[in-house]
Amino acid sequence: MPAANQTHEIPALSLNSFADIFALHKNSSWKAVYEINVYPNVANSTSMTVYQMGKNTRTDTAINGINASSYILSGKFYDCVYVRNYWTCVNIPTNSRAVSDASSLVESDPFKYDFTSDGSMQVAGVSAKCFRSENVSNADVRYCFSKEGVILYQRAGMPNMPGNVTFGVEMKASSYAANVDASVFKLPAIAKNMSD
């Protein structure tokens, strides 16, 4: 785990290739607050805060008044929930966290997919450089990055679903910081094993 109160700022980079910027993204430190929308026909969005420092990640959400945080720390998975003024954390076995959505596929091997430059867009008050691929597990995927390598926008859409409808998920940053304090990766309670 990173040392408490340590911060790490990442340098700006030249945004030339998806593989280069994604490699920087995976090994940098940042925090972003996202609004997540599912389309079509989902009226309510939800928010999520993501912290990353190198290979450590924390994701905070609040659903129906319950705060939850998921952590990946040194390759180990933890889920924590805050209920009735009390945090509970569990250590999740790695093999139970298998995910096969388009975003996870890209993150596991960004060099495998053919991403091309796709202009830019204004997100979280800055101009974000965008890349797009139409061959990620039959999904049309778009990522937009800050100059520091922070993902500010992500969309994965599945076109040509029944009824000629596109189904997808969009994640757009409302704010971000290109540094994060290592103390945010400290679990709020001692983690129990799932079998306990």
Q: Is 8 part of a structural domain of the chain?
A: no
Domain boundaries, position 90 = 18-193
Outline where DSSP puts E strands in the chain.
Answer: 29-39, 46-53, 56-63, 66-73, 76-83, 86-92, 116-123, 126-136, 139-145, 151-161, 165-177, 191-193
Buried b (16+ CB within 10 A) or exposed e, 138-149: ebbbbbbbbbbb
Instruction: Say if pTM beats, i.e. exceeds, 0.75.
Output: yes
| Percentage with pLDDT > 90 across the chain | 39
Q: Is 7 part of a structural domain of the chain?
A: no
Dihedral in degrees, nearest 10, Cα atoms 21, 27, 33, 37: 60
Q: Is 112 part of a structural domain of the chain?
A: yes
Q: What are the two backbone dihedrals, phi and then psi, of residue 21, each rounded to the nearest 5 degrees?
A: -70, -35
Q: Is 181 part of a structural domain of the chain?
A: yes
**Arithmetic mean of pLDDT, 46-73:** 91
Q: Which two tokens stand for residue 145?
A: 């990055």
Write out pLDDT tens, residues 91-130: 988 665 444 445 555 565 666 667 888 999 999 999 999 9
- 19 contacts: CB under 8 Å, gap ≥ 6: 110, 111, 115
Q: Is 9 part of a structural domain of the chain?
A: no
**What CATH number corresponds to the domain at position 171?**
2.50.20.10
Using an 8 Å Cβ cutoff, are 10 and 176 in contact? no
Q: Is 169 part of a structural domain of the chain?
A: yes
Q: How many CB atoms lie within 10 A of CB 74?
A: 11
Distance of alpha carbon 124 from alpha carbon 146, whole angstroms: 9
Q: Given this model, what pLDDT does residue 110 score?
A: 60
Which of 11-15, 27-31, 141-145 bottoms out in mean pLDDT, i.e. has the lowest? 11-15
Place of tokens 């094993």: 193
Distance of alpha carbon 97 from alpha carbon 36, whole angstroms: 21
Q: Given this model, what pLDDT does residue 100 score?
A: 45
Q: Is 93 part of a structural domain of the chain?
A: yes
Q: Looking at the 3D structure of the chain, how many domains does it have? A: 1
Q: What is the DSSP letter of 93?
A: P
**Arithmetic mean of pLDDT, 172-183:** 94
Q: Is 153 part of a structural domain of the chain?
A: yes
Q: What are the two backbone dihedrals, phi and then psi, of residue 159, each rounded to the nearest 5 degrees?
A: -75, 170
Q: For residue 31, what pLDDT band results from cuts at 50, 70 and 90?
A: very high
